[in-house]
């Protein structure tokens, strides 16, 4: 039976929110749970009703671009808690936040470090920054430094920082962030590579950043991050698009109309239960296959044209004029409803590419619950001889994803 939230106080809703976040495995650190419980989130979201403000799994959009796309939002509480777990703020730490949002996260950071003046939050949009500043002042945390500026540049005036957190999604880690993070400091950022996104927690170790935690997530993109990710329509009506990184050899003109070519479908025999995800397959392939991209499919596209796994953003492989992407079908095994993963391909090498991707699914399946990777980020000039694997090259850095058990 659902709770009647219309009769509950903000305090009751907040307690219920924290309980659900904790039950989901977030706010594992006691101090993170404490600040979530003590902070009136609704006062940073005056235009949202209480139920939405304290919904544990929903983000709240607060500003939009003229085209309707989200410019700024308050992240869902579970993700706020998870990223604060990753950041591990200790009393006395100097903290930089990229993306002021509503000011809520800066308020939490100020309580974790113990002094509001040790927290600096930067936002490129003056309206967003002004609103965050007012909310912080109104809740007793006016000592937080709210700066209107380009987050790509960080904020050198208060560096070095013991902790840095980005609440907008960068395609790369800008050089100023490296320069402003103290040795041994931690940085948490929702990074993007090969079309997928993870909140990654790093420790600065010498001249590199080494991860110890990756959490699946999606965020508003960092404004001013450059054209690291490219995109192009592959259907004449523009309803199916492909997105790829700048360092990838993708020619969208060779793929325009590829979905009109004959379809090849191959099934993997790998099935998933109701609570199982295939997202780690995408992550794993980014370590070994430079052809991994992202397919965007609107709800207006009929399955006979394009029939990917559910969701707007889906993994695909591109090889010249050939496209392959994940699909699924419902099956019943021992009276249990499951979904079988398969691959649909179009183009001259569709048979080969679909079979290749099914082979990757079969190789991934036995290990999908046991292994997590390490993402190591090197400066852009690092030679190949210093890298533990194949580099994904960005503007300011080189990403290397490695597994204890090398992907087969």
What are the tokens at 80? 């706020």
Known active-site residue 385: no
The span from the first CA to the last CA of the chain, in angstroms, equals: 47
Which H or E element spans position 352? Answer: helix 350-364
Which H or E element spans position 135? Answer: helix 126-138
Beta-carbon contacts of 336 under 8 Å, excluding residues fewer than 6 positions away, are 273
Cα 345 to Cα 266: distance, rounded to the nearest angstrom: 8
Q: Are 199 and 83 in contact (CB under 8 A)?
A: yes
Q: How far is CA 129 from CA 117, 165, 178, 337, in A?
A: 16, 16, 24, 49
Options 12, 72, 213, 385, the catalytic residue: 72
State whether residue 7 is helix, strand or coil: helix
What are the tokens at 318? 């591109």
Cα 332 to Cα 341: distance, rounded to the nearest angstrom: 13
Instruction: For strands 336-346 and 263-272, give the pairing.
Output: antiparallel
Query: Closest by alpha carbon to 136, among 147, 127, 126, 144?
Result: 144
Cα 223 to Cα 167: distance, rounded to the nearest angstrom: 12
Other Cβ atoms closer than 10 A to 154: 25
Tokens 């204890």 belong to residue: 404
Q: How many Cα neighbours within 13 Å face the side chain of 390? A: 10
Catalytic residues: 72
């Amino acid at each position: 039976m659902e709770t009647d939230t219309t009769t509950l106080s903000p305090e009751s809703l907040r307690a219920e929110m924290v309980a659900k976040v904790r039950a989901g495995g977030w706010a594992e650190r006691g101090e993170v749970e404490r600040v979530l419980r003590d902070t009136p989130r609704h006062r940073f979201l005056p235009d949202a009703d209480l139920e939405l403000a304290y919904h544990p799994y929903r983000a709240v959009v607060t500003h939009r671009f003229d085209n309707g796309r989200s410019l700024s939002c308050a992240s869902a509480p579970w993700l706020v808690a998870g990223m604060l777990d990753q950041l591990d703020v200790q009393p006395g730490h100097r903290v930089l936040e990229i993306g002021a949002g509503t000011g809520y996260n800066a308020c939490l950071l100020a309580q974790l470090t113990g002094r509001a003046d040790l927290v600096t939050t930067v936002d490129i949009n003056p309206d967003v920054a002004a609103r965050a500043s007012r909310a912080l002042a109104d809740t007793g945390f006016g000592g937080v430094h709210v700066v209107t500026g380009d987050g790509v540049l960080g904020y050198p005036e208060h560096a070095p920082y013991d902790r840095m957190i980005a609440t907008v999604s960068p395609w790369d880690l800008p050089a100023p962030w490296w320069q402003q993070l103290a040795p041994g400091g931690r940085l948490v950022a929702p990074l993007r590579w090969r079309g997928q996104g993870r909140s990654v927690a790093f420790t600065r170790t010498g001249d590199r950043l080494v991860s110890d935690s990756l959490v699946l997530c999606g965020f508003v993109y960092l404004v001013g991050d450059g054209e690291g990710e490219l995109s192009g329509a592959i259907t004449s009506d523009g309803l199916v698009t492909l997105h790829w990184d700048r360092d990838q050899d993708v020619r969208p003109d060779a793929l325009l109309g590829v979905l009109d070519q004959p379809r090849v479908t191959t099934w993997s025999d790998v099935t998933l239960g109701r609570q199982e995800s295939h997202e780690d397959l995408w992550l794993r392939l980014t370590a070994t296959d430079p052809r991994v991209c992202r397919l965007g499919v609107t709800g207006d596209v009929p399955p006979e044209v394009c029939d990917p796994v559910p969701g707007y953003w889906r993994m695909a492989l591109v090889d010249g004029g050939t496209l392959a992407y994940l699909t699924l079908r419902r099956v019943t095994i021992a009276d249990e409803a499951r979904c079988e993963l398969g691959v649909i391909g179009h183009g001259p090498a569709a048979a080969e590419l679909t079979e290749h991707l099914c082979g990757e699914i079969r190789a991934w399946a036995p290990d999908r619950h046991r292994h997590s990777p390490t993402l190591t980020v090197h400066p852009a000039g690092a030679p190949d001889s210093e890298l533990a694997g194949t580099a994904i090259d960005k503007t300011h850095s080189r990403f290397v994803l490695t597994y204890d058990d090398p992907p087969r």
